[in-house]
Amino acid sequence: DIQMTQSPSTLSASVGDRVTITCRASQSISSWLAWYQQKPGKAPKLLIYKASSLESGVPSRFSGSGSGTEFTLTISSLQPDDFATYYCQQYNSPWTFGQGTKVEIK
Amino acid sequence: EVQLVESGGGLVQPGRSLRLSCAASGFTFDDYAMHWVRQAPGKGLEWVSGISWNSGSIGYADSVKGRFTISRDNAKNSLYLQMNSLRAEDTALYYCAKSAVRVELLSWFDPWGQGTLVTVSS
């Protein structure tokens, strides 16, 4: 199975900061990668698919990049609503998720 | 509006069985693959099982293979997960999730239901 490794596990940042989360795949997944945001007590919400396509309704401060084995999720200017846990997912069977990155208030 | 509503969770003893259901509405259910994903308390997301639109392709995580069975009833717009021989490590919130791309099994998930909690304990 393809392993997904996210870094960092926890990230402390302030409102207005530029934030970058990295996701590495154990083998090439082309652009078969999605990013989700999860807040406490809530279901995950889709942010990015096909590595860099922004889901409709998601603020443009979120962006994704990468292909092959290395991917990034960037929040250009962190907002109070963005403090949450973020997961990457590769969607080649079987589907696997990264372990998550918690974005905390600094 | 797409809605996925899970049910059937609860407290169950190790070794016993439980059947989860996911009622879907707001989209043409039999056009989409569906999945179960779980999240143990305080932990990350783990894909459990997926089923194609016509039940022709089914997959399981190694951790549940041989114990869990996924199925769907397109006439009832419903997805199921039969869980047998439950273990303490199966304790988790179980989410139902829709494949985002019509007919395509290899797709990201959107949206997700709110989950149903399964607790395996004596």
User: Which of A46, A92, A94 minimises the CB distance to B61?
Assistant: A94
When pLDDT is cut at 50, 70 and 90, the band that residue A52 belongs to is very high
Quick: pLDDT tens for B84-99. Answer: 999 999 999 999 999 9
Chain A residues in contact with B64 by the CB 8 A cut-off are none
Interface membership of B58 toward A (CB under 8 Å): no
A57 pLDDT more than 90: yes
Amino acid at A98: G
Estimate to the nearest angstrom the gap between the alpha carbon of A101 and the chain centroid.
8
pLDDT of residue B51: 97
- Per-residue burial over A3-14, b if 16 or more Cβ lie within 10 Å, else e, is ebebeeeebebe
Give me the pLDDT at residue A25, please: 97
Percent of chain B with pLDDT over 70: 100
Token representation of residue A12: 């402390």
Among A32, A43, A96, select the one facing B112 at the smallest CB separation.
A43
Q: What angle do CA B48, B9, B94 make, to 5 degrees?
A: 30
Contact assessment for residue A103 and residue A87, using Cβ atoms and an 8 Å cutoff: no
- pLDDT of B109-120, one tens digit each? 999 999 999 999
The stretch B5-13 carries a mean pLDDT of 98
Among B52, B103, B33, B69, residue whose Cα is nearest residue B60: B69
For residue B42, which of A96, A38, A2 has the smallest C-alpha distance? A38
How far, in Å, CA of B104 to CA of A106, rounded? 41
Q: Count the alpha carbons within 13 Å of B2 in the hemisphere toward its beta carbon.
A: 16
* Sequence letter at residue B72: R
